[in-house]
Structure 1
């Protein structure tokens, strides 16, 4: 059987097998994943805000013109809905101001518990932010005296535009926000938005304080009474990305920041009236030192205590990308509260300078600017920020930025993926050597990835596709061992903890640092309290699995390929750090996640080696680990097999064309003879002399002779060889299948074709073909070839005209009366051939083009 034929047979079988595998995967995860599709939400969409009542398990969702309540314990129940939309008159006014009709709705951007059985709700309200109060007991919005919704202004509490970056946090019943404060979205404030009017303070309107920020997250860190002997104040932290003013470059450089304000700050007496006196900010640096790559765009932050109940153990997991990379890129760095506090207690950055050089920095006054009130300051007579001297407040106003940066190395780096949200579950205490974390990462394609972090080593556990590729994950909440994952249209509940998540020995071995071990008796992943052995615990666990190759010592796989082939070389990442490829210098490649797409040419033959960065035991710096190795050689005994096959098809096509032309010529010749005999049968007497060459020339040159419209060629109109056959369009596509399960997948010996399908999740172990591709068959597509074959045959056209036939009949000829029935039988036999079956019947030929 030819390679094409074998591929035609294998494609349907592989498609069926892949479908069965996918169905089995869904079946295995059915009890661990539940998804509410858009149809379940009664037409409500654009979910942007989550708020979870952990006591009851009720999840409140802020949407467009509505608020929903979903019982996460009973997802089958119909969600409760409150409609809070914008009056039509106000909507028209919003559109008249230049905004789109879509944006002139009420997008709920804030949901916060007030502690008195109510929820504070704020929405954009057609670019005029408004806030209301939701009664939990009745699940209704409070009504005003006129029967409408009781509302108060939301300016400074909620953004004007639905897509604007925004964050808010409730601290002891008081709302702190970071948002735009005007209709145009050009003014930015970090403010205390509720509480007593005289205590509502905000940032100074200065680019030294906030320079075109994009707010990301906020956190309230409350000092515990038992671990606060100095009487230090509670603090609120804000995370954002802004344009750096300390870098004097030709382009805008964005930097991630962390800012801190103190809960008891009420502003200054004269300087910084109704402004923060404790606003300080520092740069966050997420940098991979071995490669020198720095990730400077902050996209999300998750706050967690490594030791529950101890605020000093708080860590901030930041999700980053890079301003300078063209391809999608994501990195995760973790910053401790203690490291941030050390930087904020360090030296201030001096931003003032003259035309020649830097001026001498201002001396730091006492008490230290920007510090929160504590017992020592109160003992000196500074019971309130209103008592602070002007020199201290002036220094704070001019020096909000710290000299040092808070630095961290990335836990993971992934190329080709853009993570949008992050949540973290902890195992073990901060002092425990077995302390580990599981990162739950949502992507912009509706996927959820889980990564285990043990020490400094991150291990990719699984990737789940929850929503469509057009639904980015925009919310992740963790509750009772489950992750509540949201998109603008859907909601999913996914099991987030437990060794039973990992269905195979290899994946279970990767979770060894989480206290999981593979049970050969149960054929399942089980929790264990046994201490792992010395060395790399993941590597040791993988040795227990039936694997043909070591983790970092793969064998080189020989791939026989043909010129022009597009091939995807898999490289399975064990650790989600960056992977790189070694390849021939003049290759044609493009990297998809960790896999490599190769277009085979003479220059691209040779070795391809994939190396990923992984952290070894007891090491902070990543070490290289070879994950895959391939060697590309031309197939064959003949290197030009693909070209020869293509040439053979062209030769065959020419033979078929000549065969068809011969049949057509025979049909028209028989038609001509039959017509002559029928004329003779009707009694026409022809002259004895035959048609002379001169008469023929006169006939061809005569303008008085009627010219019937030229019928089209049989090849060009009678039937199209490039049309669909049996209802299926023909194609010359051959699909390449390359499978790699784990580290020991079997690869075939020959690959040919021109079409490649990337894995559905961007990092699968198998490359699936398109099951709808029709079978490859003979295809004559060259209309130019047919036209060239017909050129030069126009010299016989006069013989096909009725006038020429009649003149020939008059001048003499013999008639065979037995040919009429034979011709009819031949026409019927030829009509039965599939080659002559076309969508439209052949027109009656009055003039031959042959």
Structure 2
């Protein structure tokens, strides 16, 4: 088969005149090829040790940057940046970085697909404690500097031009040096036609390859870049310009520029002056060599100074891949050799030897015009970079490798071994070991399948981190962490040593296959053989893979379903006589089980011993129980039959059931909105209700308590003025000071204290020879009706009033009399439960209490006692067993103050009759006459108080009609005497000589400014007029002021301010107006 393919390929190659190599796919001699069946590791076996991270709607996980000091990996994807933990891939932080709507619309208008008009992260590097992230931003590249510990904190923005490609799908390589210079190889324009290797950022000037010059770059596809010995190397593939005369051919290249390149002065201004490139050759030698011209990935090991590269065939040819090893000595030899130069387009490419010191970055070589001319003339080296070995390290047919990673592992006996991980386009990862020679040995150790069977994943990036011994894969849909070794696959010492895995050895202390303790392969208890390829002649015992996930399956011959999972004997597969795996390869669970009846039980006993009765038997649906959607049993679970030959039952008399109280209900609303009131709660005798002659519940079915005590709004009113009373005299008998009083009445709205008295006010006046300025036409109005009594009980008050219609009136303006003198009778609440007996044996006492309540008075009086006692007899006390029963208590009638009872000793043993033979107790504790045990309604208790009409017996606190009549007559006589005295006093004073000055009215209130009505009022006939200087003529204005102020409604008149003089002399003639300001404003 291989020879036939080689013949076809030989027929397809170009003529020898074009110097095209002859190719074939034969494996090179000495190369170890192995059956992949011996090294296969399935997805199920890898599942337990693999970590995965994905987020719905996020794709293209293309960039991975490690930060081992913070134990994190930063991931760049489409429209997102993530921080994940190194092990477990737990999400630490996410940052949304999508292109804005206008940028996306512009991208679509320019002809790009919606799938490409996103922000794909293509460049990402760590520089000190900052993170450089560049994205395509819907074909408008953009870069940001972010804080490494907080990727949502953006410290700066950069234009993405020359730092990130426009197209998210073109290859790109980038490198950020310790100086802060960014080297980028990719296309730099919207169309993708301008591809270049360019330096930006950092201290140096921006330099790039020559634009649109095929000798510099011809449609390059950049792969990798790295720094070494003052040079920046970059790996790419391009169309080979040296073979253009023979048709199109792709060649793999390694390019180089100096880090200190400052560009040309005139000829190559802003261009590299140290740019060189050479061919990387990876081929199978022979008469007709077969070349792998498409480099896919490359890894540089700086300490070992070697390069591992993955090469493949063309996309439109037969699939094949190879892994080749190069060393830096061969690379430098190529760049130090002759140049390949074409003098004109029609001539052939020929080797040219010229001075290349300038390209070696020697400062002594200088620059200037000669260096620029040399750089413009020479770009391609004549000698290719040949592999370290004549044959590729590894060949793979019928598949194409795309990514690689290399690890260096120290072993116990074989020194440092290189472990090469290569991934193909289907997502399979192969693990190779390269043992340094001579002879050099390359072995295939494992073929890993990190993705489910029959699925493929596009791997965008593959990186290895030595700190965690893990491979990290970035795919189109997720990030995967894969351990580099699986030592626990080998359960015996022999299988562990035969695997020849450089990561694994046998631990004699723990008796298991494991990596070296502390990463030290020279621990004495850790055993490892000489590293070579796994022995093909040794038998390999089979090992089970991990169990697959549970899947639905169907039982044979039935439509009932189960859950099944499988495993395969492929980790490893038994080979060369090795033992097969022990145990089942399939597990079945959760199968549908239909229910089945058990046998009937024996008949039970009859349900009764007389009359009508039945006996039963049972069975259960548990033979087996229905499970996982199975059908339940059909039929009866229980059957009954009548019992025969039972006797008739005797007549039955129901036993009495005593009643029991239910729980108390909710409290009702308080009867008072302010002040104090009462509230009620009820219970019913229904737990249980008394039946069959049982006793009713003892106690009250309704309970009450005080509530409220909220403050009530107050209303204030002033009483009328009292009559004028003489206070003192000047001693001459002609001048008398008189004073009158009035009080402030406050209505609180509280039932307990509805009215109270406020402050007292008074006024004084000076009378000369009996004339005090009273009006000739003064007089009282008639008495008003008596007000309602302010208290329903406990002695309240009634008031009636009259007003002074004109002039100055003598006498009182209001009368007051007591009412409702009967005491406030309260209502008893419910009795509490009886207390425990005071004696644990013999005779004792029990007590209960109740509370006297009244909604209108804080200290009501209730008839009866608040505490009740009763005797209680428990078990007989030791030493009293010989006593007989107590006799009945004697009666308390006949004026007796106590009652007694006795008992008789019935035993002949005195020790059994200890204690008293007679008991006495006071009768006063048993008197409960007139007790009120049921509360009357609050509405009746709060009704208006009635005066006894004389038909009653005078008890209960009511006022008789005779008492009321006598009180009224007494009040009239007293009023007549007071009136006569006042009239005589006024008559005597008026006969004396009047002083020419006006009387002064002085108020005790210190207010100097009072608002008074400013509207005019009609003066009565005979009223005095006021002089301009404030003196009074022929009378007082006091009555007129009061009449005007009381007749004019509030807020319907103008006001003015008159200053009261409290320091002038009595004879100065100034007005001291008596303004009833309190009448206006005190309400």
TM range (shorter): 0.5 to 0.7
Provide closer, same or farther for how the CA distance between residues 348 and 26 of structure 1 changes in structure 2, counting only shifts above 3 A.
closer
In 2, Cα distance between equivalents of 1:127 and 1:56: 33
User: Which of 331-340 and 465-474 deviates more?
Assistant: 465-474
Equivalent of residue 136 in structure 1, options 148, 157, 176: 148
In 2, Cα distance between equivalents of 1:354 and 1:494: 52
Q: Deviations over 1:315-361 (max 9, x none)?
A: 22111101287333221112112221111111111222574x65986
3-state SS of the aligned residue for 1:390?
Answer: helix
2:51 equivalent in structure 1: 34
Equivalent of residue 254 in structure 1, options 250, 257, 264: 250
Is residue 264 of structure 1 aligned with residue 278 of structure 2? no
2:373 equivalent in structure 1: 394
Provide closer, same or farther for how the CA distance between residues 531 and 395 of structure 1 changes in structure 2, counting only shifts above 3 A.
farther
Contact 1:454 1:514 (C-alpha < 8 Å) held by counterparts: no
Alignment of 1:65-80 (within 5 A): 65-75=79-89, 77-80=90-93
User: Which of 500-509 and 341-350 deviates more?
Assistant: 500-509
Alignment of 1:62-141 (within 5 A): 62-75=76-89, 77-115=90-128, 117-141=129-153
Alignment of 1:558-597 (within 5 A): none
In our comparison, the structure showing a higher alpha carbon Rg is 2
Is residue 462 of structure 1 aligned with residue 450 of structure 2? no
3-state SS of the aligned residue for 2:459?
Answer: coil
1:364 equivalent in structure 2: 354
Is residue 193 of structure 1 aligned with residue 200 of structure 2? yes
Is residue 235 of structure 1 aligned with residue 223 of structure 2? no
3-state SS of the aligned residue for 2:102?
Answer: helix
Equivalent of residue 207 in structure 1, options 207, 214, 219: 214
1:79 positional shift:
4.3
Provide closer, same or farther for how the CA distance between residues 510 and 322 of structure 1 changes in structure 2, counting only shifts above 3 A.
farther
Equivalent of residue 162 in structure 1, options 168, 193, 204: 168
Alignment of 1:404-553 (within 5 A): 404-408=383-387, 409-428=391-410, 434-455=415-436, 456-468=440-452, 469-479=455-465, 480=467, 481-497=469-485, 499-500=487-488, 508=496, 511-512=499-500, 514=502, 516=504, 522=511, 524=513, 537-538=532-533, 541=535, 545=539
Q: Deviations over 1:515-563 (max 9, x none)?
A: 75568994746766599999x9436x55565689xxxxxxxxxxxxxxx
Q: Deviations over 1:200-227 (max 9, x none)?
A: 1111121101000000010122x4xxxx
1:428 positional shift:
3.9
Contact 2:540 2:572 (C-alpha < 8 Å) held by counterparts: no
Using the size of structure 1 for normalisation, the TM-score is 0.54
In 2, Cα distance between equivalents of 1:74 and 1:475: 19
Provide closer, same or farther for how the CA distance between residues 25 and 277 of structure 1 changes in structure 2, counting only shifts above 3 A.
closer
In 2, Cα distance between equivalents of 1:208 and 1:496: 42
3-state SS of the aligned residue for 1:514?
Answer: coil
Q: Deviations over 1:79-125 (max 9, x none)?
A: 4211111111221111111100110111111111122x211111001
Provide closer, same or farther for how the CA distance between residues 318 and 362 of structure 1 changes in structure 2, counting only shifts above 3 A.
closer
Q: Which has a greater percent of helix?
A: 1
3-state SS of the aligned residue for 1:246?
Answer: helix
In 1, Cα distance between equivalents of 2:527 and 2:513: 19
In 2, Cα distance between equivalents of 1:349 and 1:507: 55
2:941 equivalent in structure 1: none
Contact 2:504 2:513 (C-alpha < 8 Å) held by counterparts: no
Contact 1:506 1:542 (C-alpha < 8 Å) held by counterparts: no
1:277 positional shift:
0.9
Q: Deviations over 1:432-468 (max 9, x none)?
A: 9643111122232233221112233222222222235
Contact 2:539 2:578 (C-alpha < 8 Å) held by counterparts: no
Contact 2:51 2:88 (C-alpha < 8 Å) held by counterparts: no
Equivalent of residue 326 in structure 1, options 306, 313, 317: 317
Residue correspondences, number: 502
In 2, Cα distance between equivalents of 1:132 and 1:212: 29
Contact 1:159 1:179 (C-alpha < 8 Å) held by counterparts: yes
1:391 positional shift:
2.8
1:509 positional shift:
5.3
In 1, Cα distance between equivalents of 2:296 and 2:484: 22
Provide closer, same or farther for how the CA distance between residues 740 and 463 of structure 1 changes in structure 2, counting only shifts above 3 A.
closer
Provide closer, same or farther for how the CA distance between residues 434 and 66 of structure 1 changes in structure 2, counting only shifts above 3 A.
same
Provide closer, same or farther for how the CA distance between residues 389 and 74 of structure 1 changes in structure 2, counting only shifts above 3 A.
same
In 1, Cα distance between equivalents of 2:351 and 2:372: 16
Is residue 178 of structure 1 aligned with residue 185 of structure 2? yes
In 2, Cα distance between equivalents of 1:88 and 1:74: 35
User: Which of 54-63 and 465-474 deviates more?
Assistant: 465-474
1:744 equivalent in structure 2: 576
Contact 1:500 1:526 (C-alpha < 8 Å) held by counterparts: no
Using the size of structure 2 for normalisation, the TM-score is 0.43
2:334 equivalent in structure 1: 343
Which one scores higher on RCO, CA 8 angstroms, separation ≥ 6? 1
User: Which of 243-252 and 492-501 deviates more?
Assistant: 492-501
Contact 1:353 1:359 (C-alpha < 8 Å) held by counterparts: no
Q: Deviations over 1:140-178 (max 9, x none)?
A: 1427xxxxxx53211111111110010000112111110
3-state SS of the aligned residue for 1:453?
Answer: strand
In 2, Cα distance between equivalents of 1:157 and 1:190: 11
Provide closer, same or farther for how the CA distance between residues 86 and 537 of structure 1 changes in structure 2, counting only shifts above 3 A.
closer
Contact 2:410 2:417 (C-alpha < 8 Å) held by counterparts: yes
In 1, Cα distance between equivalents of 2:501 and 2:578: 30
Provide closer, same or farther for how the CA distance between residues 155 and 300 of structure 1 changes in structure 2, counting only shifts above 3 A.
same
In 1, Cα distance between equivalents of 2:423 and 2:83: 22
In 2, Cα distance between equivalents of 1:281 and 1:487: 31
2:626 equivalent in structure 1: none
Calculate the aligned-residue CA RMSD, in Å: 3.9
